[in-house]
Structure 1
Amino acid sequence: MKKIHLLILKSFIRPFIVTFFIVMFVLLMLFLFKYIDDLIGKGFEWYIIMELMVYSSATNVAMALPLSVLLSSIMTYGSLGENYELVAIKSAGISLRRALYPMLIAVCGLSVSAFFFSEYMLPVANLKYYNLLYDARKQKTAFLITENVFNNSFPGYSIRVKHKDPDGQTLRGIMLYHKPDIQSTNMDVIFAEEGIMFRSPDNKSLILRLKNGIQHQELPGEGGYLPRQRYTRFRFSERVQKFDLSGFAMGHTDENEFRGAFQMMNLKQLNLWQDSTGKLIDLGLSRNYSLLSPYFKYFSVSHKFYKDKPFNKGSSDFLGSLTHEKQASVLANALNQAKSFKDRVKERATRFGDLTLESRRNRVEYQKKFTLSAACLALFLIGAPLGAIIRKGGLGLPVVVAVIFFLIYYIISTIGEKFVKDGDLAPTIGMWIAIAVLTPIGMFLSYKAANDSELFNVEAYNKFIKKMTGYFTKKKPV
């Protein structure tokens, strides 16, 4: 490998790593903004949040990797062009196509790695991520006391606080209502001027230390006819009330409940599911006639009956020969048969629609295993020559151009995926249409860059416009 190739690779690796982590950080922030309400205030340990963020980062690689390849390739060749290093490379007899070889090999390696990542690591990451996110979202909210609101987080207790100090632990104007269950007639109400709330060292109990309060308690009488209830009231200077926090512990759902989702499958599992579902669809289609034919009933009429007498569709001789009661009975039976037939057909159609929809979603996930690698190559074919043309490095213009092309790729791929799921496009066409649109653009930009085209030179366009304007305004000789 020549030194110039090593120079280009070193110039590519550094911005690629930086841009990859920047994009991953932005996507991670979007994840936190989306699920912040489901994570805050539930008493999670810090390592659970970190674990969820790591799994979320793994699921974002499919979006971060192509964008990083596009942005870093624009920055690399833009910086080389801005510092006139591309001019030196060309003056040494090395064409732009030969200068692209080392980065093309590196991007091909990234594409192969992306395929193996989506095949082996991404299904596991998706399984862990969705399982942990499901457990986190169904987790009960931790005990958060709101001012002037009855809080019923703990079974059998209802707590209301008039004021809560900024430290979050000191409470004032406390009312604690205790009723063991709905059927119980015992009522116990505690009023306290202030209190301090904190967790026990083992984190299994919430301790509420009340000060300067009074307790009102009603108890049933002991035996006898119409026993009188007993009312007790006593004051206290300090009292400790404990609440069990076991109900707020995070549960763990069995991962096998999520393995049926397509995001958690590799290519072999997706093909097995598709084969079994295809057999079910074919079997359902072949059994439609045998299941629906009993709803059709025919009269036993000889074929010679209509030989000399053509059938008249508008004829009502059969019903006209019956009495009104029999006519009503025949029409009612026919209506019931039609309704039964319609319900059965609707049931079969719904089942067929669900299976075909799942089959299309299966093919979408199958094609995604390959489109990630292809997207890296297609965006590199756009980014590298585009950087050589605009000749700007850094995070200014390259970022704007990269975002524009990535949005084009993302919008086209999203629309294609939607059309595939709706059944308007074949899975192969819908999932590869973005690659098919961007690849010719990349080849065109490569041709322009190899021929030193002034594609983004504003002065060249101004000269062209002035030339055309002067041509049309020039007076013709008489």
Structure 2
Amino acid sequence: MKKIDKLILRSFIGPFLITFFVVVFILLTQYMLKYFDDFVGKDLGFSVFAELIAYFSINMTPIAFPLAVLLSSLMTFGNLGEHFELTAIKSAGISLVRVLRPLFVFVVCLSAVVYYSNNFIVPKANLEAYSLLYDIKQKKPSIDIKEGAFYGGIPGYSIKANKKYDDDKSLGDLIIYNHSDRKGNTEIILADSALMYTILGDKYLVMELFDGKSYTEEEANKPQEPSNYVRNIFKHNKVVFSLASFEMERTDKELFSSNRLMKNENELRNDVDSMRNDIIDSKQTIYRYTPRFFNLHMDDTEEVKPPSVVYLEKMKADTASISKLDSSKEESEVLAQKNEEAVKEKNLKTSKAIKTPDQLSKYDDQRTLKNTPKKLDRESIVEYDQNLIDRADSAFNSITRRTPSNLVDKPRFAKNRLKGENRRIENRKFEINVYSIEANSKLSQAVACIVMFLIGAPLGAIIKKGGLGFPVIVSILFFIVSYVINTTGIKLGRAGDISNFWAVWASNFVLLPFGLFFLRQARNDSRLFETDYYAVKIAKIFKFFRKEK
């Protein structure tokens, strides 16, 4: 490695690490503020907060890496240009592309690391972070007895203190209702004052009571006998409460593993395939269930089945028949080839050899739209009176030989069933879009590091300003543009308005031409951001118009 490569790498790695941790800290602070109310008053301890912050810091890295690359590359080449080091390098006959080469190789390797992190490390960190966050939300707040109000945080007890002193330990005029036996308020304790504290690692709460009385209603031995009523007077007494319910219990992490944020790219794509097959199963259910309501005129439903359902039923039948065969391997292969040829011939006739579940679903939608009437003729609607409907019901019941039923019951039930299945299909399509976008974003966020480098490095060479001033402003500007494009694309992609590919890759394709443009200008030593350059251009324009006059 040449000295110039070492110089460029040393100049880049330092600002990159600093900006990366600063960006992670800013994003983490903004994200954790949303859950601030869930942390207050729960006495979680430093270890729990440190664990939560560590996991969510990893969660912020997919956004932090591209922004850190953009800002650090701007600062690096801005400093080189500001101190005329870049000018000295160019005067030695070394081109800008040669100067960028070591950093470009470093960023490409960094993008591979980012992709690995997004695909394997971040999902595991998300599983740990969100399971811990759920447990924190479920944890009870620490004991906070307020003056003049009943406190029921301790299971089986209700405590009221009419006076609470400033040390948060001393109470006055105390009332304790004990209903831990679930038989009502059978035990009441009154005390003039009390002192409370915890023991055994905050596992138990002790209340020392002074100058009080206790009233207990004991259960009678026989139903006919009256219950016993016991009253005790004490000068000093202790009541111990278990605080086991205030400890944070960890939930099984496998309960959260089905969320899309906890899965890698392969798992997400497998889920998408399963959802597409589930849509075909829902369509099959519709066409298997509908003839039950129209048994008089829908005995043969093969003609109204969509090609995807026909294809799926045929494949299942072929698979079942092959699995039952105990013949040799050669006979199984021959039979499989025959079945495959038969399936292909039928698909050529029905759906033009559509093979994937996604293509089958799209073909079904196109067929449905093609066969849907464009306009409903109002004059063709005929209204019938109730007498005619009653006569039709009677005729229908006599034909079916069943218990009397209304003629519109079956269509109504079929309509409700179809609505439910259609809602399920729409939900599945939405989930397919969400999971596909999440799978595609694993790679797009890694490639964004390369795009941001192609923008930041040439732009820093043009601006020739280092530090945290102008480079930060330019970085924030491009980051906002990227964020807006990504957010809009994901929203449109989930709604199905654009493809899932363009939903996550649009920002890279939009910003890449800017990087190539800045690279071309930097190679030509353009003065793109110098005010005197534009002043000369404007002066030439005014001079041209003066000559015309």
1:246 is matched with which residue?
244
CA distance in 1, matches of 2:389, 2:441: 65
CA distance in 1, matches of 2:395, 2:544: 87
CA distance in 2, matches of 1:218, 1:183: 12
CA distance in 2, matches of 1:279, 1:230: 69
Distance 1:263-1:393 versus aligned 2 partners, 3 A rule: same
CA distance in 1, matches of 2:219, 2:460: 89
Q: Match of 2:406, SS?
A: helix
Deviation sequence 1:256-299 (CA, Å, 0-9, x none): 21121122222322232222222222333345333324434657
**Residue identity in the other structure for 1:204:** K
Shift of the alpha carbon at 1:183? Answer: 2.8
Alignment of 1:5-16 (within 5 A): 5-16=5-16
1:155 is matched with which residue?
155
1:273 is matched with which residue?
271
Alignment of 1:3-402 (within 5 A): 3-193=3-193, 195-211=194-210, 213-220=211-218, 227=226, 230=229, 232=231, 234-236=233-235, 238-296=236-294, 314=380, 325-327=390-392, 333-402=406-475
**2:150 and 2:160 in contact (8 A); partners too:** yes
**1:221 and 1:230 in contact (8 A); partners too:** no
Give the number of equivalent residue pairs: 460
Deviation sequence 1:163-202 (CA, Å, 0-9, x none): 5445433444433333335533513132333x33322133
Matched, 1:425 2:498: yes
Shift of the alpha carbon at 1:423? Answer: 1.2
2:538 is matched with which residue?
465
Shift of the alpha carbon at 1:95? Answer: 1.3
**2:217 and 2:227 in contact (8 A); partners too:** no
TM-score, normalising length from structure 1? Answer: 0.88
Shift of the alpha carbon at 1:30? Answer: 2.2
**1:77 and 1:384 in contact (8 A); partners too:** yes
Stretches of structure 2 lacking an aligned partner (at least 5 in a row):
299-378, 397-404
Deviation sequence 1:70-117 (CA, Å, 0-9, x none): 111111111111111111111111111111111111111110001111
Which moved further from structure 2: 449-458 or 10-19?
449-458
CA distance in 2, matches of 1:162, 1:449: 76
CA distance in 1, matches of 2:108, 2:167: 56
1:308 is matched with which residue?
none
**Residue identity in the other structure for 1:402:** S
Stretches of structure 1 lacking an aligned partner (at least 5 in a row):
301-312
**Residue identity in the other structure for 1:243:** F
1:309 is matched with which residue?
none
**Residue identity in the other structure for 1:259:** S
Identity in percent: 35
1:303 is matched with which residue?
none
**1:152 and 1:159 in contact (8 A); partners too:** yes
Distance 1:104-1:165 versus aligned 2 partners, 3 A rule: farther
Q: Match of 2:58, SS?
A: helix
CA distance in 2, matches of 1:316, 1:442: 66
Distance 1:456-1:235 versus aligned 2 partners, 3 A rule: same
**Residue identity in the other structure for 1:124:** K
CA distance in 2, matches of 1:271, 1:299: 41
CA distance in 2, matches of 1:107, 1:88: 24
**1:175 and 1:192 in contact (8 A); partners too:** no
Distance 1:164-1:17 versus aligned 2 partners, 3 A rule: farther
CA distance in 2, matches of 1:369, 1:316: 57
Q: Match of 1:345, SS?
A: helix
Shift of the alpha carbon at 1:352? Answer: 0.8
**Residue identity in the other structure for 1:176:** I
CA distance in 2, matches of 1:125, 1:12: 28
Distance 1:56-1:167 versus aligned 2 partners, 3 A rule: farther
Supply the RMSD in Å over aligned alpha carbons: 2.8
Shift of the alpha carbon at 1:246? Answer: 0.9
Deviation sequence 1:307-330 (CA, Å, 0-9, x none): xxxxxx95979x79x867415767
Deviation sequence 1:26-61 (CA, Å, 0-9, x none): 222223322222123223242222111111111111
CA distance in 1, matches of 2:457, 2:150: 62
**Among 436, 446, 449, the residue aligned to 2:509:** 436
Distance 1:58-1:163 versus aligned 2 partners, 3 A rule: farther
**Residue identity in the other structure for 1:151:** Y
Shift of the alpha carbon at 1:422? Answer: 1.2
**Residue identity in the other structure for 2:507:** A
CA distance in 2, matches of 1:72, 1:298: 74
**2:392 and 2:407 in contact (8 A); partners too:** no
2:358 is matched with which residue?
none
**Residue identity in the other structure for 2:42:** K
Which moved further from structure 2: 12-21 or 158-167?
158-167
Matched, 1:453 2:452: no
CA distance in 2, matches of 1:324, 1:279: 42
Q: Match of 1:94, SS?
A: coil
